[in-house]
């Protein structure tokens, strides 16, 4: 069974994907971490994000066993991730890795923006997790301030809208729910309630 979990920044998709992986005993790939790790490599090597060939080379050179979880979770890495993710050559460079993960025997859970539409269009279950921009910005702001980042809520809201726009408006694999995806709006749900709803959706689809 392949479970595709897509949705925007801070919708809860990552938390939900992890919980589903635990519940159903499936391996999980957070595909956003691949774009974030590419972004960190691009920043470190001072690559111009307009240089598509150089950014794609950085994506191909990624050592996925050595991703620095702390560095890729910063707001700067996230912002740069959405810029490099708009480059078709970068997406192509990361495609096989995601496909191979999805094809492993026994199934897998992948979360991202284009899993149900591009990476695993035949996934047995497709979830599109969403929430309004204000709620998502508030969650993200709380996370960042808890880590000691002095960023304001207004800045986080502006960044959230900017990232949504870049992800939905790009030509290659834009963020959108697959036609056969089940929508899960977590705006007014607790984490536990959102996870329970997601488990129910998977159970119903099996």
Which x/- pattern, by CB under 6 A, does the window 117-156 give for ligand C5P? ----------------------------------------
Note whether 163 binds ligand C5P by CB under 6 A: yes
- The reply to whether 184 sits in an annotated binding site is no
Helices 88-102 and 32-44, axial angle in degrees (round to 10): 140
Q: Does 12 bind ligand C5P (CB under 6 A)?
A: no
Task: Point out which span in 99-107, 113-121, 125-133, 198-206 binds ligand C5P (CB under 6 A).
Answer: 113-121
Find the shortest distance in angstroms from Cβ 73 to ligand C5P: 8
Q: ∠ CA(18), CA(24), CA(30), 5° rounding?
A: 30
DSSP string, 109-157: EEEESSIIIII-TT-SEEEEEE--HHHHHHHHHHHHHHTT----HHHHH
Q: Does 28 bind ligand C5P (CB under 6 A)?
A: no
| Residue 152 marked as a ligand binder | no
């Amino acid at each position: 069974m392949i479970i595709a979990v897509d949705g925007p920044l801070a919708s809860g998709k990552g938390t939900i994907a992890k919980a589903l992986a635990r519940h159903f005993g499936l391996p999980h790939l957070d595909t956003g971490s691949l774009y974030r790790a590419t972004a960190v490599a691009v920043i470190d090597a001072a690559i111009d994000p307009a240089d598509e060939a150089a950014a794609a080379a950085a994506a191909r050179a990624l050592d996925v066993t050595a991703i620095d979880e702390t560095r890729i979770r910063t707001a700067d890495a996230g912002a740069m991730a959405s810029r490099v993710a708009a480059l078709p050559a970068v997406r192509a460079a990361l495609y096989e890795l995601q496909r191979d993960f999805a094809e492993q025997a026994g199934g897998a859970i992948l979360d991202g923006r284009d899993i149900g539409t591009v990476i695993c269009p035949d996934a047995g279950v497709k979830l599109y997790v969403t929430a309004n921009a204000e709620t998502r910005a508030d969650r993200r702001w709380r996370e960042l301030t808890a880590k000691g980042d002095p960023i304001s809520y207004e800045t986080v809201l502006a960044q959230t809208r900017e990232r949504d726009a870049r992800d939905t408006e790009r030509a290659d694999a834009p963020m959108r729910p697959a036609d056969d995806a089940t929508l899960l709006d977590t705006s007014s749900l607790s984490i536990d309630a959102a996870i329970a709803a997601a488990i129910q959706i998977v159970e119903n689809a099996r």
